Structure 1
Amino acid sequence: MLIYAVADIHGNPGHLEAIKKTVQREKPHVLIAAGDLSSHMGKGAQDVMQTLSSLGLPVFVIKGNTDGKSIQELAAKTPGVEDLHLKTAMLEGATFVGAGGTVPIPFRSKLALFEKDVVRRLDNLLTPGCVLVVHPPPYGVTDKVLGKFNAGSKSVASLIKKREPAVCICGHIHENAGTAMAGKTLVVNCAMSRSSAGALIQLAKGQAPECQMLAP
C-alpha cells in the first residue's frame, strides 16, 4: 500500500496544489494529514477540506495545534474524509490509529490538554505493526527546533517504545521534516514547508516500511 503523508498544510494554497499534483502523479491508496490543516484559529479549514475531499481517495486527518474544533466537525461532514482521533481504521490490510492535538509551548510538546487521558486511550488502541498518526513527533526523533532543542512529545516516545507501531506519521516541527528510527518504528515527520511536500510511505505485509521524502 502506498501512503501519502502530509502535515502542517496551514491552509496554504501552494501546499494544497502540491498535494493535488502528488496524488495525480503517484496515485497513493490513502492520504494522511497529520494536523495543522488550517492556519491559526481554524482559518482556511473549509478550503482544505474541500480540496482533500476532491482527491478521490480515502483521507484520514487529525487535529493539530492551529486547528479549531471546526476541523473535526468539518471532517464528519466531508465525503471521503475521516477524523482519526482516538479511532482505529483498517485499509488495505493496514491498521491506522490516531490522536489529534498538541499544546504549542516551547521545547516540551504535549499530545493534548488532557494528555494523560488521551495517552491511556491511545495505548489501548495501539498494536505492534500499526500506523500511528499524531501531530508532535516523539521526543528526540525528528523534533529539533533551531537545530538544537528537542521539542517532541515524551508520551509519544513512550507509546512507541511500548507498542512498536510500524510507522509513526507526525509533523509540527517544520524544520526537522524527514525520517528516523525510534527502536523498531519508522518515524516520518512529513511537515510541509518550502523544502518539503510530505512523504510517500510504502507499506507491505512482512516487509520493513520504506519512505521517500518529497521536494516541492
Structure 2
Amino acid sequence: MLIYAAADLHGRPERLAAIETHVATQRPDLLVLAGDLSRRMRPDEVAGSLSRLSLPTFFIRGNSDSRRLEASLGRPPRLQNLHATRKIVNEVGFVGVGGTLPLPFHSRLGLAESALVARLSDLLQPGDVLVAHPPPYGVRDRVLGRFHAGSRAVKRLVERRAPALVICGHIHEQAGIETLGKTVVVNCAMGRSCNGVLIRYDGESVPECAILP
C-alpha cells in the first residue's frame, strides 16, 4: 500500500495545491493528514479542497485546529476522523490521536497524557500505524535546534505497543525520518524542504519512506 502523509498545511493554498499535484502523479492508495490543517482557510474550504481529490483520507486535529475542523472534514464520506479510533486499510491498522502538548506552544487541544496512553494502548497493535500530531519526545522534535518539544505520552505509547510506523508533524523544521526502537517515525510537516512523505507499507515489512521536495 502506498500512503501519502502530510501535516501542518495551515490552510495554505500552495500546500493544498502541492498535495493535489502529488496525488495526481504518485497515485497513493491513502492520504494521511497529521494535524494543523486549517488556519489561513476556513475548515469548510479545506474540506472542499480535500474532497475533490477523490482519495480515502484519514485526518486528526493539530494544536491550531478548532473543533469545527472535525465537523467540516467529517462530512465528505472519503474524509474520516481517526482520533481515538482504529481503522483497517488493506489489512493495515491505523490508530489516531489528535492534539499536542499544551506547552511550550499554545494549543487548542492538549493531550491528557495518562488517559491517552490507557485508552490507546487498548487500540494500538504491534505493526499498526500511529498517527499523532506531535512527534514522540526526543525524535524529530527539536525546536530551534535546542530543546525537545515532542510528546512523552506518544513516546511511552510507542515503546509500549511497538507500532511499525508513527506519522506526525508539529515541529516544522524537523521534517524527516528517524527510528525509535523498531518503529519508523515520519515527521511529515510541510515546509520549504518537504511537501509530505510517501510511505510504502504492507503491514509486515519495514515501511519504506521518501520525502517529497
Aligned residue for 2:74, secondary structure, equals helix
1:29, distance to aligned residue in structure 2 (A): 0.3
Q: How many residues align?
A: 213
Could you tell me which residue of structure 1 aligns to residue 11 of structure 2? 11
Aligned match of 1:209: 207
Q: Which of residues 133, 143, 155 in structure 1 aligns to 2:141?
A: 143
Aligned partner of 1:39 in structure 2 is 39
Counterpart code for 2:37: L
Which residue does the alignment assign to 1:52?
50
Q: Is the 8 A contact 1:133 1:168 kept in 2?
A: yes
Question: Does 1:169 find its partner at 2:162?
Answer: no
1:92-171 superposed matches below 5 A: 92-106=90-104, 112-171=110-169
Q: Which secondary structure state, in structure 2, belongs to the residue aligned with residue 77 of structure 1?
A: coil
- Per the TM alignment, residue 122 of structure 1 is displaced from its structure 2 partner at its CA by 1.1
Indicate conservation of the 8 Å contact 2:102/2:111, yes or no: no
TM superposition shift of 1:54? 1.0
Instruction: Show the counterpart of 1:82.
Output: 80
Matched residues in 1 for 2:202 and 2:145: separation? 33
For 1:79-113, what per-residue CA distance to the aligned partner results, in whole angstroms no more than 9, with x for missing partners? 31000000011111110000001145228x9x824
| Post-superposition offset of 1:203 | 0.2
Once the two structures are overlaid, the 10-residue window that deviates more, 96-105 or 16-25, is 96-105
Quick one: which amino acid aligns to residue 74 of structure 2? A
Structure 2: distance between partners of 1:144 and 1:18 = 26
Point out where structure 2 has 5 or more consecutive residues left out of the alignment: none
Higher deviation after alignment, 98-107 or 202-211: 98-107
| Equivalent-residue separation in structure 1 for 2:198 and 2:158 (angstroms) | 21
Does the CA-based 8 Å contact 1:196-1:213 persist in structure 2? yes
- Alignment TM-score, normalising by the size of structure 2: 0.95
Distance in 2 (CA, whole Å) between partners of 1:205 and 1:138 is 21
| Partners of 1:9 and 1:36 within 8 A in 2 | yes
Percentage of pairs with the same residue: 50
Query: Which structure 1 residue ranges, 4+ long, deviate > 4 Å from structure 2?
Result: none
Question: CA separation in 1, counterparts of 2:103 and 2:92?
Answer: 33
Letter in 1 for 2:57: V
2:149 counterpart letter in structure 1? A
TM-score normalised per structure 1 = 0.93
Does 2:170 align with 1:190?
no
Contact between 1:112 and 1:118, CA under 8 Å: does it hold in 2? no
8 Å Cα contact 1:4-1:200 kept in structure 2: yes
* SS of corresponding position for 1:14: helix
